[in-house]
Structure 1
Amino acid sequence: MIQAAHAGIGIDAKEGKQASLAADFSITQFHHICRLFLVHGRFCYKRSCSLSQFVIHRGLILSVIQAIFSWMFFFVSFSFYPGVLLVGYATAFTMFPVFSLVLDRDITSAEAFLFPQMYGILRKGRSLSIKTFCIWLMISLYQGTVVMCGSYVGVYDNNFVELMATSFTALVFTELIMIALTIHKWHWAMYLSQAISLICFMGSMLYFNEYFNLKFITSSNFMLRTSLIILLACLPIYIIKVTRGALSASTSYNQIY
């Protein structure tokens, strides 16, 4: 029966350890089941949803940029970003902040015990559904379009290196800002992951001179235009997020009471 359930829970008691060894989760006392469901279950679900969504977003926005680049340049068959930058984007530049979302908490443990009705809301599956996937798809389409088109209009003057440097810088900072906007309660590991990512990216800009012209990336024109692209990519999403958060907070309050 334990193995047939969606989540088998066994109690390590005097009767023996067979149930706890066969179960997915093992507890020492029956009253611990409340904490297992209301606290650990909620945090695991919310964190898994956030992590999955950002893994999807991180890949989609890159695909959108590549698609727009191919369309702009008569459907060329080569990658817009070199392989070393793609590897850096998937690892050192964005990996640590994305995986730091597993430490995020939308509420405290005490609040989860105080309002057990919030666990019932999770059973509706609204945090990770087709609707949320479509939302992140639209966000990726918008931000990828802004990053690529903004870089092309802003700096492109028969200089492919400047176009690549501007768009890639805006891409990395957009992803880091989006992660920061998603975090509910900051943990020291989140600050550290953001700092490590920024240091690695800044170091790569100085090391890979063939991709980042030092004179260009230190100019005021590059900083101003890149900042404007990042602002256009993130500010509308932040405004929508705040508005939806205010509306959903009132809705959740009514559902709880």
Structure 2
Amino acid sequence: MFYHGLIGTFRVSRGNFSNSVVRNSLERSVCLEVVQLVKQSPNKPITAAIGDGANDVAMIQEAHVGLGIMGKEGRQAVRCSDFAFGQFRFVRRVLLVHGHWYYLRISTLVLYFFYKNIVFITPQLFFNFLSAFSTQAIYDTAYLSMYNVLFTSLPILIYGLFEQNYSDVKLLECPHLYKEIANNVLMSWCSFLKWIAFGVWHTTVIFYIPYFLMMINEAILLDSTPIDQWMFGSIIYHCVVTIVNLKLWFHSRYWSAVFIISIVLSIVGFIGLASIYAIIPGTMYWVYFHAISSPTFWLLSVLAIAVCLVPDTTITVLTPHILSALYRTKVWIGKCRTETTEL
């Protein structure tokens, strides 16, 4: 045991130079010790243990992720594992393809929920400053209830089920693509702050473009009647639902028919339900009909969408080219240094 402990400590001390530890025909306690030593190393890595027999149970349970293979020694390892496989060759596809896809999907889903609620709620904060903090809501209560349940839920659900930034064939042929998601890069503070920045930018544009236009001339509707509080809130809500769904559309790299239909259905569904709700007597009676009957409303919507999404689209398009240019520059500098050293 002491001998194996020294070997494990030596391997861990060189952990900066290796990403895996392979062992063969060791005792159960030694397997457990190896995983514990790796977990306790200074870098605090996320560990995964793969085994196919009863001798591997302790190791599988100790690791952060346990993978069990159904082998000749029985199913003890499978029963104690987090994920089970019929054959070892399936692990490659699970890690390189499904692991890549699902990490992309779940990380985007989490960040998108922060983003879309920032875009939705922040106009209320801006409105509080204009209303002298009177606690008056900018949205109708029905709109508040239906935002996350109906108008923005279906596209992100489809995204979380079917999104693919690369095809399965390419991910299997190019294992180095896994490095793009290594070290939890998509859930880093940089990614989080980027989504928050987009949310703040979008909500600022959505609120202040109608506001400044209303300050210039309140009578912008078709019949020249001034905009009231509920009309102002309806315009903002319409822009929020449209931009939040289009943002996810432009962010996605896999435009399947189901995904596109979910985006269109969410936006068109909102317009339809808002129109039906406008028929019911109450605070919103005929408000939305009054808004959509004005060409100014549609011009305002297009302007807000363009100002919001053009920077996003520009960054999305230019980023791969910038990264490619930086990579080529790095390679060129490396070649120059090599040639200089040889001289």
Q: TM-score range by the shorter chain?
A: over 0.9
Describe the shift of the 1:251–1:188 C-alpha distance in structure 2 as closer, same or farther (beyond 3 A).
farther
* Kept after mapping to 2: 8 A contact 1:104/1:185: yes
Instruction: For residue 198 of structure 1, report the CA deviation from its aligned partner.
Output: 2.3
- Which of 1 and 2 has higher RCO (CA within 8 Å, sep 6+)? 1
TM-score (norm 1): 0.92
Q: Distance in 2 between the 1:92 and 1:230 partners?
A: 21
* Kept after mapping to 1: 8 A contact 2:138/2:229: no
1:75 corresponds, among 133, 148, 160, to 133
Q: Distance in 2 between the 1:49 and 1:251 partners?
A: 26
**Counterpart residue number, 1:204:** 273
2:99 corresponds, among 41, 45, 49, to 41
Aligned residue type for 1:214: F
Q: Distance in 1 between the 2:315 and 2:136 partners?
A: 36
* Kept after mapping to 2: 8 A contact 1:155/1:162: no
* Kept after mapping to 1: 8 A contact 2:246/2:263: no
Please say which of residues 138-147 and 61-70 is displaced more in the overlay.
Answer: 61-70
* Kept after mapping to 2: 8 A contact 1:12/1:28: yes
Instruction: For residue 251 of structure 1, report the CA deviation from its aligned partner.
Output: 5.8
**Counterpart residue number, 1:174:** 243
2:252 corresponds, among 177, 183, 188, to 183
Q: Distance in 1 between the 2:273 and 2:324 partners?
A: 42
**Counterpart residue number, 1:100:** 158
Q: Distance in 1 between the 2:189 and 2:328 partners?
A: 24
Percent sequence identity over matched residues?
A: 22
RMSD of aligned residue pairs (Cα, Å): 2.0
Instruction: For residue 87 of structure 1, report the CA deviation from its aligned partner.
Output: 1.8
**Counterpart residue number, 2:88:** 30
2:186 corresponds, among 123, 127, 131, to 127
**Counterpart residue number, 2:36:** none
1:229 matched to 2:304: yes
Describe the shift of the 1:53–1:216 C-alpha distance in structure 2 as closer, same or farther (beyond 3 A).
same
1:220 corresponds, among 289, 295, 298, to 295
Instruction: For residue 10 of structure 1, report the CA deviation from its aligned partner.
Output: 0.3
Equivalent pairs counted in the alignment come to 255
Describe the shift of the 1:252–1:126 C-alpha distance in structure 2 as closer, same or farther (beyond 3 A).
farther
Instruction: For residue 254 of structure 1, report the CA deviation from its aligned partner.
Output: 9.4
**Counterpart residue number, 1:245:** 320
Segments of structure 2 that go 5 or more residues without pairing to the other structure are 1-58, 219-226, 331-343
Describe the shift of the 1:213–1:60 C-alpha distance in structure 2 as closer, same or farther (beyond 3 A).
closer
Q: Distance in 2 between the 1:67 and 1:173 partners?
A: 20
**Counterpart residue number, 1:56:** 114
Q: Distance in 1 between the 2:326 and 2:88 partners?
A: 33
* Kept after mapping to 2: 8 A contact 1:161/1:213: no
Describe the shift of the 1:105–1:135 C-alpha distance in structure 2 as closer, same or farther (beyond 3 A).
same
Aligned residue type for 1:221: T
Instruction: For residue 205 of structure 1, report the CA deviation from its aligned partner.
Output: 2.0
SS at match of 1:185: coil
Instruction: For residue 253 of structure 1, report the CA deviation from its aligned partner.
Output: 8.7
Q: Deviations over 1:150-190 (max 9, x none)?
A: 12122463511221111111111100110110110112321
Describe the shift of the 1:187–1:254 C-alpha distance in structure 2 as closer, same or farther (beyond 3 A).
farther
* Kept after mapping to 1: 8 A contact 2:138/2:230: no
Q: Distance in 1 between the 2:325 and 2:164 partners?
A: 19
Aligned residue type for 2:266: S
**Counterpart residue number, 2:5:** none
Instruction: For residue 13 of structure 1, report the CA deviation from its aligned partner.
Output: 2.3
Q: Deviations over 1:180-217 (max 9, x none)?
A: 10110112321231232123201122112143331331
**Counterpart residue number, 1:113:** 172
Q: Deviations over 1:106-152 (max 9, x none)?
A: 00111111111121332232211111111111111111110011121
TM-score (norm 2): 0.70
SS at match of 1:127: helix
* Kept after mapping to 1: 8 A contact 2:139/2:234: no
1:89 matched to 2:120: no
Segments of structure 1 that go 5 or more residues without pairing to the other structure are none
